[in-house]
Amino acid sequence: MQEADLSALDPQARRFLAMVALGGRGGSVGIEERRRGFAKLMQFSKPPAARVAASDSSIPVGDRAIPIRLYGAEGPGGLIYFHGGGLVAGGLETHDALCRTLAHGAGCRIVSVDYRLAPEHPFPAAIVDALLATRFVLRNAAALGVDPRRVAVGGDSGGGTLAAIAADVFGRRGRLRAQVLLCPALDFAGASASRETFANGFLLDASTLAADLVHYAPQRPLEDRRISPLRAADLAGLPTTILHTAAFDPLVDEGRAYARRLAEAGVDVRYREHATLMHHFYALNGVVPAAQVALDGIARDIAEVLA
C-alpha cells in the first residue's frame, strides 16, 4: 500500500485531521454511534452570514411522506440535494448549514431531501425516495418557485451516488440541467489506488465504507449501476456535470474516472480536484478557510450552469 504524502495537504486541514485522530474517531462502530459521529462532524459546517429563508414540507408518497426542506428565494434555478452520510447517516439538520451556504452562494432554490436510511431501510429505499423526490420537483417546479428548465440534482459522498442515479434516470430525457457531485461515491466494485492510499485517517476510513455498504446493500452485486454509477455501460446523454473532488480522499480515483468517461461520452464536464483538501471538505468551512474558498467555487459553478 502506498503511503500518503501529506506535504500538499492544507495546514489547517492537517491540524483538523490530527485533532480528529486524538479524539479517537475511526474504526468500525455501531449504527447509532456512526450517526452521532457524523452529526458531530457536520457541526464544523458554517452557514453564510446572510439570512437564507428556509421552510419544511413533505412529498406525499402513498401512506407515507418524504420530508424536504426548501431554501432560498424563488428561481430561477433549483437544486435537488441529497445529503451524504454513507446512506446510513445524516439528514435535513446535518446538512442545513451546507444547503444555506450553497443556496446563498449560487442564488438558487435548494430542495434538501430526507430520504430513508439503511439499515432500517436498505437498498433500494434511498434510491426510490431520490427518484420520487426528483420526479415531484420536476412536476411541481413552478409551484416551488423554480424554473422547470433549470433544475439540477446534487449531493455529497453517498448523496452524490443518489444524484448520479437520478441524473441517469431523468437527465437522459433532457429534464435536468445538471448534476452536482461533491466527493461522490461512484464505484464500490473496484479496488482503486486512492481507496488504499487514504484508507485511514482522512475522515472516511475503509472500515466505515465497508460497514456502511453492509448496512445499505447486503448481498447485492456491487457492479449494479444503482450501487456503482461508474459501472454504467454508457454515460452518453447525461446532463452537464459539476464534479468536485479532493486529492486526499479515498473516493478521488472514481471521481477522476467518472469525469474522464463523461468527457469521452461527449458530456459537458466541469471537473475540479482540490489539491490541498480531503473528503468532507465541503462541510469544514468553519475550521478550514480553504474549504470556504472551495465552496465559493462550487456555488459559482452552480450559478453559472443554472443561469
pLDDT digits (tens, 9 = 90+) for 20-46: 998 765 556 899 999 999 999 999 999
Q: Which of 95, 104, 215, 279 is catalytic?
A: 279
Contact between residue 114 and residue 82 where contact means Cβ atoms under 8 Å apart = no
Look at the pTM and tell me if it is higher than 0.75.
Answer: yes
Active site residue 157: yes
pLDDT at 185 over 80: yes
Q: Which domains does the chain have, with CATH numbers?
A: 28-306 (3.40.50.1820)
The predicted structure's pLDDT at residue 2: 66
Could you tell me the pLDDT band of residue 253, with boundaries at 50, 70 and 90? Answer: very high
Q: Which of 114, 168, 249, 301 is catalytic?
A: 249
The predicted structure's pLDDT at residue 79: 99
The predicted structure's pLDDT at residue 258: 99
Active site residue 279: yes
For the chain, how many residues are written? 307
Q: How far apart are CA 39 and CA 31, in angstroms?
A: 12
The predicted structure's pLDDT at residue 75: 65
No. of helices (H) and no. of strands (E), the chain = 9, 8
Q: How far apart are CA 67 and CA 75, in angstroms?
A: 21
Sequence-distant (≥ 6) Cβ neighbours of residue 112 within 8 angstroms: 68, 69, 70, 71, 81, 83, 92, 95, 96, 99
Q: Which of 45, 112, 157, 228 is catalytic?
A: 157
Angstrom distances, CA of residue 227 to CA of 87, 136, 202, 216: 11, 23, 23, 10
Q: How far apart are CA 157 and CA 279, in angstroms?
A: 8
Q: Which residue has the higher pLDDT, 219 or 265?
A: 265
C-alpha cell at 282: 465541503
The predicted structure's pLDDT at residue 4: 81
Summarize pLDDT for 96-117 with one digit per residue, the tens. 999 999 999 999 999 999 999 9
Could you tell me the pLDDT band of residue 265, with boundaries at 50, 70 and 90? Answer: very high
